[in-house]
Amino acid sequence: MPPPDKPPLVLRITKPTLLKRRPVPGEALAANEKVAKPPCRIFLHSYAYQVPGENLQGHVKVCFEGPVLNNASVWYIYKEHCLIEGVEPPQISSPASSNSSVPRSSSRINQAGLDMIKRFEGFRPQAYICPAGVPTIGYGSTLGVRMGDRITQQGGEDLLQRDLVRFEKAVKDAVKVPLTPNQFSALVSFAFNVGISAFQRSTLLKLLNQGNYQSAADQLLLWNKGGGRVLQGLVNRRQAERALFLKN
């Protein structure tokens, strides 16, 4: 149960509307891509009024605590049809300011970071045991996964979006210096791969919080081992994360 001073996030639907799998007019969606909803209140896991690299076309992107339809938890709803309770709506920046420091209250991974995670994680439709011995599915999701589980690619993307909220928050809470969207997204990818505890204890984070951005970027390259040996896949991933971190 959340503490009294931190009310839960709630989506309050104020008029009959559609929850949609894509931010497009309802008539452009198939029957299994939309759900009619009357005025009601639904608990949320997270939400976004703006997503780098994605045109929401007047929608809010919401992630529910559990699936709404077809095992999907990520949906879109027109902004004028709803209110988000429990938070103040974030200020929406103009495209010209996309490379400014990330607001600490609304940091989200950008499209470049999301694409990088998906590329290096790869998609697996059936649960498998990862090198760490943990049942894993989709794009590296482990929470609640059991051997024998199967998932669609869309389901894998929904699980990834759900999982990333935790890592976005960990980076936002741990970093005490301003970050560009690319720097933030590179760190989310890194934390997603090595784990939150390893990120929090890392020399990389210590150097970054001292304002030494270049040395922090170089630290990424040292995290290239698995089972005590250098793995080419990790070498490639760390190089990509460093390149994104240093990109304007």
Catalytic residues: 121, 130
Q: Are 182 and 245 in contact (CB under 8 A)?
A: yes
The CA distances from residue 169 to 63, 172, 208, in Å, are 15, 5, 17
Closest CA to 240 of 160, 186, 168, 167: 186
Beta bridge partners of 43: 10
Give SS3 for 218.
helix
The angle at the Cα of 114, spanning 109 to 119, to the nearest 5 degrees, equals 155
Closest CA to 107 of 174, 159, 43: 174
- Gap between the Cα atoms of 161 and 127, Å rounded: 18
Which residues, including other chains, have CB under 8 Å from residue 82's CB and lie 6 or more apart?
Answer: 11, 12, 13, 14, 17, 60
Helix axes 232-246, 181-194, angle to 10 degrees: 160
Give the β-pairing of 74-78 and 59-64: antiparallel
Q: Are 130 and 139 in contact (CB under 8 A)?
A: no
